[in-house]
């Protein structure tokens, strides 16, 4: 790669966006809505992630069709990961001090960050 700076910049944007969307922009109604198909919480949360990636992808200079395709993919994947984690967490309830809680949380975060690796691969 001749110039890796744009890819590093995109990765940094996605990482910071992920922190903001997952840890700062989730009110209780969003958290409670995950894992419930008819509740808007999980959908709104996944949309925040997809919309948050939009400026970086535009700045990167991608075609709008590709941007919307990546956004739709990110939305669907993020929703599915969070939905599965919410269902798993309800079925295997454990406190914050359990290994199971942190394993589920870590797996959730790993899958989200692998999604960003997929976005970088698609962009490359």
What average pLDDT does the chain have? 93
User: What was the pLDDT predicted at 38?
Assistant: 95
**Closest of 54, 45, 101 to residue 77, by C-alpha:** 45
Condensed to tens digits (0 to 9), the pLDDT of residues 60-108 reads 889 999 999 999 999 999 999 999 999 988 888 778 888 888 999 999 9
Q: How far apart are CA 77 and CA 71, in angstroms?
A: 10
Task: Name the token pair of 114.
Answer: 């692998």
**Closest of 123, 92, 115, 122 to residue 21, by C-alpha:** 115
Task: Name the token pair of 56.
Answer: 């970086």
Task: Name the token pair of 46.
Answer: 């996944």
**Closest of 48, 46, 53 to residue 68, by C-alpha:** 53
Task: Name the token pair of 82.
Answer: 């969070």
Q: How far apart are CA 67 and CA 69, in angstroms?
A: 5
pLDDT band at 1 (very low <50, low <70, confident <90, very high): low
Please state the pTM of the whole predicted model: 0.92
Contact 9, 33 (CB under 8 A): no
Contact 41, 29 (CB under 8 A): yes
């Amino acid at each position: 790669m001749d110039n890796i700076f744009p890819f590093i910049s995109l990765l940094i944007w996605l990482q910071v966006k992920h922190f903001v969307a997952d840890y700062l922009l989730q009110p209780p109604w969003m958290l409670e809505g995950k894992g419930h198909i008819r509740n808007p919480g999980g959908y709104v949360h996944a949309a925040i992630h997809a919309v948050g990636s939009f400026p970086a992808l535009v700045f990167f200079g991608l075609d709008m069709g590709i941007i919307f395709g990546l956004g739709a993919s990110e939305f669907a994947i993020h929703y599915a990961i969070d939905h599965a984690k919410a269902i798993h967490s309800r079925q295997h309830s454990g406190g914050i001090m359990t290994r199971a809680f942190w394993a589920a949380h870590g797996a959730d975060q790993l899958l989200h960050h692998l999604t960003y690796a997929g976005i970088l691969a698609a962009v490359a």
